[in-house]
Amino acid sequence: MLGAQWGDEGKGKAIDQLAAHSDWAVRFQGGNNAGHTIVIGDTTLKLHLLPSGITAPNCKLVLGCGMVVDPWVLDQELERWHALTGEQPEGQRLFISERAAVILPFHRLYDAADTLVGTTGRGIGPTYRDRTERVGLRFVDLSHVVDDVGAIRVIADRMNKQLGTVGVEGTIDPGQLQSEISWVIGRFSDAIRPTGPMLDKALREGEEILLEGAQGAMLDIDQGTYPFVTSSITGRANATHGAGIHPGHIEQCFGISKAYTTRVGNGPFPTELALDEGPGRQMSEMGNEFGTTTGRPRRTGWLDLVALGGSQRINGHTGMVITKLDVLGGMDELKLCVSYKLDGNETQSVPASCEDLARCSPVYETHPGFPTLSPEEWIDLADESRQGGGFDVLPKTIRSYLTRIEEAIGVPVVSVGVGPDRRASIASSDGPFDIHLGEATF
């Protein structure tokens, strides 16, 4: 399950829907810079590290080796989950890869000095950097350094020199660092496991595994709008690698895209609209477009088929999930960006240079809009779709809009989100999302 835009596409809801039919849900990259929101009745879950499959009590959970994990944030999430459900899944059905990297207070301090990219400030990039430089700590390493006073001091000295170079006044005390590492070991030792071999064994026994991405294709460190990207590989190529299994296991790959486009933070955005008026304001207000992790307002714009085509090229989606279609209700017309104009030439590829992308202007197709429906009316259509109606329950204008998206990216739309609730999705007949969506058991 992969984000096909600049993140925030609604992956959490789609994963929640499939988790009840899966044996495992695995996060394979990123950290608590991700934010997945799931709405089930009157309950709203905001997850940052816990896989969205946690809503299915029989689904086992893994924080994969490709992740960077903040143990203090994970502790807070688990405490909230325990208060809601009474469950303590760590070590029972939640497992942390021993190879996953540990986010320490130093990484958050260092990240706070960023003024260019507009990061979440959660320490993600510095932790990945330490991993690449082979000086970071993985969960498996903690027990080997916690009692080595000399090693702890060397780590703290390195951290303090780096903080000084970026003008951060805070320092890392070796004794405090040792105490923090000791706490992590004590808190999570039951959950730290060799999860790659565990998943390999599960696959050989015929179990179903759901791989859950964070962020989106246009934030990929290699293929995204660099340097305004995240610090990991967000796509299909890393899905199995970041879980510790081989890529031949992937049978289906679903891309998630809103019916329009949003992005958080800095960087070029060709289809961007004003937030204070017109369609951009409607997308922002009706879509509740504020970052789950940061609370920052998301920038909004028309659906960008050029960027979506780039995501398809990278990830080879077998099906597309379009979310938040209901947000566009009541507009007289809808626009789809089908190409860019750059220096007088038309292109259907996202330029590698952000300087060039910033100079691109969108080329639009205009399509008729559709009426506003109430949340209850959308859910009634969703229920009807799962009784054999499929996409035929949708008005013709919406079906035409979806068909044009399918033509542009070359894969079928398999589900359409029409509200935040778990049930508010319209599935294609006999497709992967044409499944029973039960009430939550917590």
Specify the DSSP element, H or E, that contains 202: helix 195-204
Known catalytic residue: 8?
yes
**pLDDT exceeds 70 at position 142:** yes
CB atoms within 10 A of CB 164: 11
Count of C-beta atoms within a 10 Å radius of residue 1: 22
pLDDT interval class at 269 (50, 70, 90): very high
| pLDDT digits 0-9 by tens, 333-345 | 999 999 999 999 9
Name the residue with tokens 């207000």.
285
On the question of pLDDT at 20 being above 80, the answer is: yes
Q: How many Å apart are CA 262 and CA 5, to the nearest integer?
A: 8
Across residues 256-270, what is the average pLDDT?
95
8, 130, 220, 304: the catalytic one is: 8
* Least reliable range by pLDDT among 23-27, 208-212, 437-441: 437-441
Active site residue 82: no
- Tell me what pLDDT residue 441 has: 64
- Cα separation, 302 vs 201, in Å, equals 44
pLDDT recorded at residue 82: 95
Say what the pLDDT of residue 292 is.
Answer: 65
**What SS3 class is residue 111?**
helix
**pLDDT above 70: residue 293:** no
The answer on pLDDT for 115 being more than 80 is no
Is the pLDDT assigned to residue 118 strictly greater than 70?
A: no
Token couple for 269 = 């955005």
The domain segmentation of the chain, as residue ranges, is 2-204, 253-427
Average pLDDT over every residue of 134-145: 98
Is a pLDDT exceeding 90 seen at residue 249? Answer: yes
Average pLDDT over residues 107-128: 85
Residue range 3-32: average pLDDT?
94
Residues 6+ apart with CB under 8 A from 188: 71, 74, 90, 96, 139
Residues above pLDDT 90, as percent of the chain: 86
Q: Residue 33 has what pLDDT? A: 86
Residue 406's contacts (CB-CB under 8 Å, 6 or more residues apart) are 320, 412, 413
Tell me the mean pLDDT in the region 55-68.
Answer: 96
124/101 Cα distance (integer angstroms): 10
**Is the per-residue pLDDT at 243 higher than 80?**
yes
Q: pLDDT per residue over 357-394, tens digit each?
A: 999 999 999 999 999 999 999 999 999 998 899 999 99
pLDDT at 34: 81
Catalytic residue (choose from 23, 36, 107, 304): 36
Q: What is the CATH number of domain 253-427?
A: 3.90.170.10
Highest mean pLDDT among 100-114, 278-292, 352-366: 352-366
Q: Are 158 and 135 in contact (CB under 8 A)?
A: yes
Q: What is the mean pLDDT of residues 157-177?
A: 93
Residue 231 in contact with residue 125, Cβ under 8 Å? Answer: yes
Q: Residues of 198-215 as b/e, b for ≥16 C-beta within 10 angstroms?
A: bbbebeeeeeebbbbbbb
Task: Give mean pLDDT, residues 345-363.
Answer: 97
Split at pLDDT 50, 70, 90, the class of 440 is low
Distance in angstroms (rounded) separating the CA atoms of residues 130 and 111: 12
Separation CA 214–CA 217 (nearest Å): 9
Helix, strand, coil % in the chain, rounded to nearest 5: 35, 20, 40
Question: 117 pLDDT exceeds 70?
Answer: no
Is the confidence at residue 291, as pLDDT, over 80? no
What is the dotted CATH code of the domain comprising 2-204? 1.10.300.10
For residue 67, is pLDDT > 70?
Answer: yes
Nearest to 367 by CA among 280, 259, 261: 259
* 38 — pLDDT class (breaks 50, 70, 90): confident
β-partners of residue 334 are: 367
